[in-house]
Amino acid sequence: MEVNQLNLKKNMTVSELINQFDGSGVLGSGRVARATNLLADMIDDEDMGIFMSVAGPMVPGGLRNIIADLIRNRQINVLITSGANITHDMLEAFGGRHYRDLGNNDEDLNDAGIGRIADVYTRSEDFEVFEKEITEIFSIISQKLDNDEDNGVISIQNLLKEVGLLIKDENSILRLAAENDVAIFAPGIIDSMFGLQLWMFTQDHKLIVDAVKDMHYLSDLVFEYEKIGAVMLGGGLPKHYTLASNLLKGGIDAGLQIVMDRPETGSLSGAPLEEAKSWSKAKHGSNLVTVIGDVTIIFPLIVAGALDKLED
């Protein structure tokens, strides 16, 4: 089979571009096409539960609405992410924003109350609102727990669901997940502004977060579906938690990852998905695709292409 040269035309649609990538079939464009086809197949498979892991600054980087729509349309079943993305989702839910073009002198930015994530910026006043709002939410949840049989103890997953139910923003990832019964797990949640505020709240309130309790519900979810597909944006703890949770039933049946990390150092973030087979985190014969590149560029293309395929 020959490599077809890419042909572009005016007013080309995303799906037409992906089809050109598919016709080429090699290097990065070929991998993007295979990932697009795989995501469409995952969503279309009624017997497959889809676990999505999100590492890195994906909410500040502009993917909030894409993730929210996948949850709203029940095209994913589980979200595993960092405390940072949860924090930034809530920051926007409370009226804050992420900004650009505010300069690159970090000492001047600090003096002006501005934090920088590469070329994304946040304002301290938005975090002040976040701190006030999340403290009020923690207070409501703490009072509720104090009156039930758990005696103030709650899992991370259930805490995030309770928080989501108290958020008013209809585009919030946390709110949509709570409304659509999409479980959110954040095993590293304490390592975030959310976690810092949680710790501060517990200094004079009874609210005990039990990470081990998550595993009871997560293990049930893994066995709830005949097959499991994984969509991994970035690496780190969310990627590993996704793969490791499926160790319980011999690994995922299909998976795609988009990463910038390299495999030579032996890091999990840069590991090819095929390596997961040696740990029984991916099954023999599983359909696995790795795309190397920036998630904020590649994932919107893959989602747009997959949704077009589902409509055909």
Contact 238, 82 (CB under 8 A): yes
Which tokens hold the place of 239? 């990627």
Q: Which residues are catalytic?
A: 281
CB within 8 Å of 204: residues ≥ 6 apart: none
Contact 43, 310 (CB under 8 A): yes
Q: Give me the helices (H) in 147-291, please.
A: 156-165, 173-179, 193-202, 213-224, 236-245
Beta strands at 252-259 and 227-233: parallel, antiparallel or unpaired: parallel
Tokens 């295979």, residue?
A: 34
Contact 235, 244 (CB under 8 A): no
Contact 173, 66 (CB under 8 A): no
CB within 8 Å of 65: residues ≥ 6 apart: 171
Sequential DSSP letters for 101-164: -S-S-HHHHHHTTEEEETTEEEEHHHHHHHHHHHHHHHHHHHHHHHTSTTTTEEEHHHHHHHHH
Closest CA to 198 of 215, 186, 180: 186
Helix 83-93 vs helix 124-146: crossing angle, to nearest 10 = 100
Please give the helix or strand (H or E) that residue 14 lies within, else none.
helix 14-24
Q: How far apart are CA 296 and CA 298, in angstroms?
A: 6
